Homo-oligomer: A and B are copies of this chain.
Amino acid sequence: MNKNQAFPWDHPRFRSWIGVARACQLMQQAVTRAIADLGIKPPHLDILVNLYRFQGISQQELARKLLVGRSNMSMLLPQLEKRGLIERNPDAKDKRVLRLSLTAEGRALTEQAMTIQTGLIERIMSQTPEDRCLQVAEAMEDIIRILQTLETADDEEEG
């Protein structure tokens, strides 16, 4: 009678996913504590790292990379600008867009933060051999692909 695995938490896939979610939640909290001394939180870190990597990106593009709404960027970026960590310059061709870049100070802070973050990631994955990490990465890519098709499927339903 228990063949149907009546409860979700008896499903192996369910338990796997719960593990992923818990790990993420704990990691988020650990990162929050680890970078608190720098005066930033995970959302700021995500922004800074992306600006470090993709200089001159627009707010829209940044929001897409971070999987958040444009309005979120409109709230956070002015804070970082006032702190002198980033700059927002109007695009030459398109008067709607603002091009984002790190200041020297912002770049220095970002490098410190990335060092901390990378150290933390290496630490939590130190028990996981490299090939296992690759397998996890592949599994996540599959999941991400499916979730993205789900997303666009929802969009089409509306239209």
Does the CB pair B53–A19 fall under 8 Å? no
Q: How far is it, in angstroms, between the C-alpha of A108 and the C-alpha of B39 when the chains are bound? A: 45
Known A67-B25, A146-B126; judge A16-B134 contact (CB<8 A).
yes
Main secondary structure of the interface of A (DSSP, over half): helix
Query: Which B-chain residue is minimally distant from A68 (CB atoms)?
Result: B25
- A76 interface hit (Cβ, 8 Å): no
Number of chain A interface residues as a range = 35 or more
- Bits for A91-122, please: 1 = Cβ < 8 Å to B, else 0: 00000000000000000000000100110011
**Measured between C-beta atoms, what is the minimum distance from A148 to chain B in Å?**
7
Bound-state Cα–Cα, A154 to B36, Å: 13
